Structure 1
């Protein structure tokens, strides 16, 4: 009679497979619950919106159906796509400049006391002045073309990124800096191996906050000096008495902001996760 001996690895393998299956099912359950909550939230929001539109009337609040029809109308005429494209390009250009310039300034101010003492009064002064206060000057100095809008977006972004980067740089542990120095790291290598990696989460946080402020600024800039863009579309809606167009512009701005922030978060998590960015 031949005895069959079961390998000890088999039960362990089965246990691992079962654990993996349970994790997969749990993950699928979380995704399903999240999707259901999103759907429920959307349905509830539409219900409240529809009730308010019915209660106050179409001259005050456009209904979801009216807004959808207006969005289709604007899309078919090409106004919606032109406006989205114009605003998106201005935001991306101005915001990118703000991040690219604000991050190095913040690192320098965080690491070099002389630079911080020289620039801190200006940073603290200008960051409390809203961009809308400079709209008229921007038009006078740079004209009604693209430059004035991009400069205003840059203005609203650069100080946020700078301050966030300063905070992240100053918060770097002295023990970490001393350890790197004791291992022979010079100033350049210290900056590359310790300061920059430690400042990345603060830079990303500042970039996200700056992105949100960019959307706040673009509307006022386009209302005053633009013939296309979401802000311009909202202003034209006022001139024509189209409350439904106004709602389309507001909703599109929210969707754009949501998409931009999600893309930024995904890219940051994908390429900067080793620096602690989630």
Structure 2
């Protein structure tokens, strides 16, 4: 049996077990008023999807997550590369990154609302804030973990600083960068709900808050289930992209002194000179 089919089977069994436990707890332990059974949540979800409410809230939250996540990654990757590559930059920036990363994005919600209002800017700022420090730390750690023998081998073959960076350090750092982005993506889902609970006119977080005010517990669970499904799906898709990006690097390791990716030109091989034997 193919591995992909086995994985799908495992996921289905896991979700089926979860729904059975959920149904048992809602029926015999907690009660359906405070803990609606799965079938009630599914029916409510279908109703919200048919009238367009669910799609509006989902698209609002996903748009904010995507914008902030991409923005935070684009900011964090070059800063992390600079911190890991240059000791002077590390000494200059590390105090700020170490100070700010211990202030959670949820604590910055009020500041974000004061600065940007309750529009899209405050939510995107918070996602960028929660993304950038995770990406910076993982990227810098990846650069620091590059094997010194690879750098020495590349330099001995005539590579300049730029070639060492782009064809040795950067490919070796990619697993760290992609792992940091995966962790940041999970934090983005947490942060957007907290932000929408406090300062938003739409989104899944706002849907949860409004449902609480009217004691619509089944609608709250619709938002929670959809949020979990979106996060799970995004993570699985990201892992597939990550494996595809790193597959060439893993297969090509050892074929070149620089450890370059299989699809890259192996610049590190010595070029023959007019007077050297071919």
Pair in the same fold by TM > 0.5: yes
* Contact preservation (8 Å) 1:102, 1:161: yes
Deviation at 1:41, TM superposition (A): 2.3
User: Unmatched 5+ residue regions in structure 1?
Assistant: 1-26
Q: Who is 1:59 aligned against? A: 33
Q: Who is 2:16 aligned against? A: 43
Q: Who is 2:240 aligned against? A: 266
Q: Who is 1:120 aligned against? A: 94
Q: Are residue 232 (structure 1) and residue 206 (structure 2) matched?
A: yes
CA–CA distance in 2 between the matches of 1:34 and 1:123? 39
Farther-moved stretch of structure 1 (254-263 vs 268-277)? 268-277
Q: Who is 1:74 aligned against? A: 48
CA–CA distance in 1 between the matches of 2:131 and 2:213? 30
Deviation at 1:256, TM superposition (A): 0.7
* Deviations 1:30-65, CA, capped at 9 Å, x for gaps: 555444433332222111101110121122211101
The structure with more radius of gyration: 1
* Deviations 1:158-205, CA, capped at 9 Å, x for gaps: 000100011111000111111111111111111111111011000000
Correspondence list, 1:1-278, <5 A:
27-28=1-2, 30-54=3-27, 55-276=29-250
Give RMSD over aligned pairs: 1.5
Normalised by the size of structure 2, how large is the TM-score? 0.86
CA–CA distance in 2 between the matches of 1:153 and 1:32? 35
Q: Who is 1:3 aligned against? A: none
* Deviations 1:89-109, CA, capped at 9 Å, x for gaps: 100110111111111111110
Deviation at 1:272, TM superposition (A): 3.6
Change (3 A) 1:98 1:276: farther
CA–CA distance in 1 between the matches of 2:190 and 2:8? 29
Deviation at 1:275, TM superposition (A): 2.8
Secondary structure at the aligned position of 2:48 is classed as helix
Deviation at 1:234, TM superposition (A): 0.6
User: Unmatched 5+ residue regions in structure 2?
Assistant: 252-278
CA–CA distance in 2 between the matches of 1:178 and 1:37? 46
Deviation at 1:276, TM superposition (A): 3.7
CA–CA distance in 2 between the matches of 1:33 and 1:96? 32
CA–CA distance in 2 between the matches of 1:269 and 1:33? 18
Change (3 A) 1:35 1:271: closer
Normalised by the size of structure 1, how large is the TM-score? 0.86
* Contact preservation (8 Å) 1:201, 1:275: no
* Contact preservation (8 Å) 1:95, 1:157: yes
